Amino acid sequence: MAIQVFVADEQSDRPVEPERWGELAEAVLADRGVAEPAELNVLFVDKAAIASLNERFLHKKGPTDVLSFPIEDELDLPPPPAGPAAGLAGPGREPFGPEGPLPLLIGDVVICPEVAYENAPAHAGEYESELALLLVHGILHLLGMDHEKEEEAEEMEALERQLLARHFAPRQAR
């Protein structure tokens, strides 16, 4: 069993390519050292759906661009590796039961393509790059990163840029 990413497009406001975003998510998780087997869900929803989730879980009114919902409260993080891969550790699991390891249920990343489209010109530049940024951002939240403090925000943004440079290229640049 590998890292499995389930992607669902539950909106019709903007086009998304579920397979492409699933591949990006798998690459980011592998890059971060997430041990197999692991599962992640990515949902693309409309403004009404994300506004409802935003109010219900974060007590904020209105739509937002991305929300992350971890399933495992505390991820088992191995110690960071030594050498050039230092800092790339991610969650892992030891074998359990006669069938081998149980999958690590990482969580859900919920993205609103319409909000991404609206924010893209002032943020990532264009729609497709904005979706990629939001997906990486959401995954990093699930892996324990945050941006409440300036130092945390700078670290998270730098890692987002690195991951996008390694694993994403807009279609027009191909």
Q: What's the pLDDT score for residue 101?
A: 59
Kindly tell me if the per-residue pLDDT of 147 is higher than 90: no
**In this structure, what is the dihedral angle of CA atoms 48, 106, 18, 59, given to the nearest 10 degrees?**
10
Across the chain, what does the average pLDDT equal? Answer: 84
Q: What's the pLDDT score for residue 102?
A: 62
Sheet with 104-111, strands from edge to edge, namely: 3-9, 38-44, 104-111, 66-70
Smallest CA-to-CA distance from 32 within 107, 105, 88 is with 88
Confidence of residue 35 (pLDDT cuts 50, 70, 90): confident
Contacts of 149 (CB under 8 A, 6+ apart): none
Residue 94's CB: how many other CB atoms inside 10 A?
Answer: 8
pLDDT digits (tens, 9 = 90+) for 50-106: 999 999 999 999 999 999 999 865 555 444 444 444 443 344 444 444 455 566 889
More confident residue, 36 or 77: 36
Which CA distances in Å does 119 have to 79, 98, 130, 156? 37, 48, 8, 19
Which CA distances in Å does 66 have to 95, 137, 162? 33, 8, 20
Which CA distances in Å does 41 have to 6, 71, 105, 106? 5, 10, 9, 8
Using alpha carbons only, give the angle 103, 106, 107 rounded to the nearest 5 degrees: 125
Task: Tell me what percent of the residues of the chain surpass a pLDDT of 90.
Answer: 64
**Mind listing the domains of the chain with CATH numbers?**
3-173 (3.40.390.30)
Give the residue-averaged pLDDT of 115-130: 94
E strand or H helix that includes residue 49? helix 47-58
pLDDT digits (tens, 9 = 90+) for 7-28: 999 999 999 999 999 999 999 9
pTM assigned to the model:
0.82
Task: Tell me what percent of the residues of the chain surpass a pLDDT of 70.
Answer: 79
More confident residue, 69 or 2: 69
